[in-house]
């Protein structure tokens, strides 16, 4: 599956149905009185956030979405049926921007619904215009077109833990150990080129599961590190480093990765845990490794885990640190400054249970 986290789409509400001009009785006989019905309203396009998607891939293949048009009115005052709303599922964590780049809504809760394009209003048939002074109107009101809007989607994964680090540190190995993911493990650089997700299931002691994403390794070329922004909603970041490297290189790896992280994800409150991996190839004891690393980086020793992702069977300490209280996701926010609050509220629909 292709991981797509940015895409542009066009949505259109359905056009309103036409109202008709008609008269009762024989064809075109105004004596029978007008009976032309109204057209139905066009359907809205409604975005719904779901946890069952984790990529914007469907929009990559289908960039245009259109709701159903309203049905035309008919004789005998029959109103046309309203067009059905088009429900478009987007992954939780999708930020929706308008064509001008202005944020519209951040869909960060499962089930959140937002009407992104309104359907056009149905036209009026001539029966609607009957009045004491105009008993046989021949006019109609034209139907409204559905709203057409260009949208940019920006997905930030809603995950609990982000695994980051330089290439070949052992991120994929650790992910596969912690979860049932099948991330590709190989001894060549940049094996993982898109985020890989895994889940640590809930158990009798912990009621909630933990979602972990391995983000592609940090690259010397800055523009290839934009995946790091996926760590911004995580409650923990784990940086996996290769402890078997020369100590100077290890510290340099840490500083390089840390400054890249801050560049793409400036939120400083997310705790960063350090995994010094490949201890099996390291000459120092675990305690020495931890002490030395802590001294040079000022990272507290309690946040440093020296391990061997390949050999260790006991990952309980790391798991206990991850189970520490999770940061709550932000509540839905009003984002579009140009639009008044009531515009926004009218479009935000309640989350169905």
Ligand X SMILES: Nc1nc2c(ncn2[C@@H]2O[C@H](COP(=O)(O)OP(=O)(O)O)[C@@H](O)[C@H]2O)c(=O)[nH]1
Give CA 124 to chain center in angstroms.
40
At residue 59, what are phi and psi to the nearest 5 degrees? -80, -20
DSSP symbol at 224: G
Nearer to ligand X, 183 or 210 (CB): 183
308 binds, among Mg ion, ligand X, none (CB under 5 to 8 A by kind): ligand X
310 binds ligand X (CB under 6 A): yes
> Residue 164 corresponds to which tokens in the numbers above?
């980051």
Quickly list DSSP for 48-115.
EEETT--SSHHHHH--EEEPPPPPP-BTTTBPPPPPPPEEEEEETTEEEEETTS-EEEEE-STT-EEE
> Binders of ligand X: how many residues, by CB under 6 A?
22
Smallest distance from the beta carbon of 254 to ligand X, in angstroms?
Answer: 14
Q: Collapse the DSSP code of 23 into the 3-class scheme (helix H, G, I; strand E, B; otherwise coil) and give the result.
A: strand
Q: Collapse the DSSP code of 116 into the 3-class scheme (helix H, G, I; strand E, B; otherwise coil) and give the result.
A: strand
Nearer to ligand X, 189 or 340 (CB): 189
Smallest distance from the beta carbon of 274 to ligand X, in angstroms?
Answer: 14
179 binds Mg ion (CB under 5 A): no
Residues 6+ apart with CB under 8 A from 352: 111, 113
Q: Which of 191, 232, 339, 349 binds ligand X (CB under 6 A)?
A: 191
192 binds Mg ion (CB under 5 A): yes
172 binds Mg ion (CB under 5 A): yes
Q: Collapse the DSSP code of 275 into the 3-class scheme (helix H, G, I; strand E, B; otherwise coil) and give the result.
A: strand
Smallest distance from the beta carbon of 203 to ligand X, in angstroms?
Answer: 25
> Residue 330 corresponds to which tokens in the numbers above?
């932000």
142 binds ligand X (CB under 6 A): no
Q: 211 to 240, contacts with ligand X by CB under 6 A?
A: 217, 240
7 binds ligand X (CB under 6 A): no
198 binds ligand X (CB under 6 A): no
Give the whole-angstrom CA distance, residue 164 versus residue 270.
13
192 binds ligand X (CB under 6 A): yes
Nearer to ligand X, 208 or 285 (CB): 285
Where along the sequence are the contacts to Mg ion (CB under 5 A)? 171-172, 191-192
- Rule CB under 6 A: which residues touch ligand X? 165, 167-173, 185-187, 191-192, 217, 240, 277-278, 280-281, 308-310
């Amino acid at each position: 599956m292709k991981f797509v986290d940015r895409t542009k789409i066009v949505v259109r509400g359905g056009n309103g149905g036409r109202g008709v001009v008609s008269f009762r009785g024989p064809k075109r006989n105004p004596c029978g009185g007008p009976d032309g019905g109204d057209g139905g309203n066009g359907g809205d396009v409604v975005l719904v956030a779901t946890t069952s998607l984790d990529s914007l891939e469907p929009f990559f293949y289908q960039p245009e979405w259109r709701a159903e048009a309203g049905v035309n009115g008919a004789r005998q005052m029959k109103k046309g049926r309203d067009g059905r709303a088009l429900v478009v599922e987007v992954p939780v964590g999708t930020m929706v921007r308008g064509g001008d780049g202005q944020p519209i809504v951040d869909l960060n809760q499962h089930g959140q619904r937002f009407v992104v394009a309104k359907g056009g209003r149905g036209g009026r048939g001539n029966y609607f215009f009957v009045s004491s002074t105009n008993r046989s109107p021949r006019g109609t009101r034209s139907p409204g077109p559905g709203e057409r809007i260009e949208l940019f989607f920006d997905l930030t994964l809603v995950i609990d833990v982000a695994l980051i680090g330089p290439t070949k540190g052992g991120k994929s190995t650790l992910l596969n150990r912690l979860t049932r993911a099948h991330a590709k493990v190989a001894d060549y650089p940049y094996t993982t080129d898109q985020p890989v997700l895994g889940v640590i299931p809930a158990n009798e002691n912990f009621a909630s599961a933990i979602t972990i994403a391995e983000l592609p390794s940090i690259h010397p070329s800055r523009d290839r590190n934009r995946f790091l922004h996926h760590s911004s909603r995580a409650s923990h970041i784990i940086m996996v480093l290769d402890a078997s490297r020369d100590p100077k290189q290890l510290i340099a790896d840490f500083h390089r990765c840390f400054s890249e992280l801050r560049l793409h994800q400036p939120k400083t409150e997310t705790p960063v845990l350090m995994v010094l991996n490949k201890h099996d190839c390291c000459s120092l004891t675990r305690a020495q490794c931890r002490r030395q690393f802590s001294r040079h980086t000022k990272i507290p020793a309690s946040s440093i885990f020296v391990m061997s992702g390949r050999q260790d069977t006991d990952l309980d300490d790391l798991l206990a640190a991850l189970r520490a209280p999770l940061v709550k996701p932000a509540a839905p926010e009003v984002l579009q400054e140009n639009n008044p609050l009531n515009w926004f509220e009218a479009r935000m629909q309640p989350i169905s249970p």
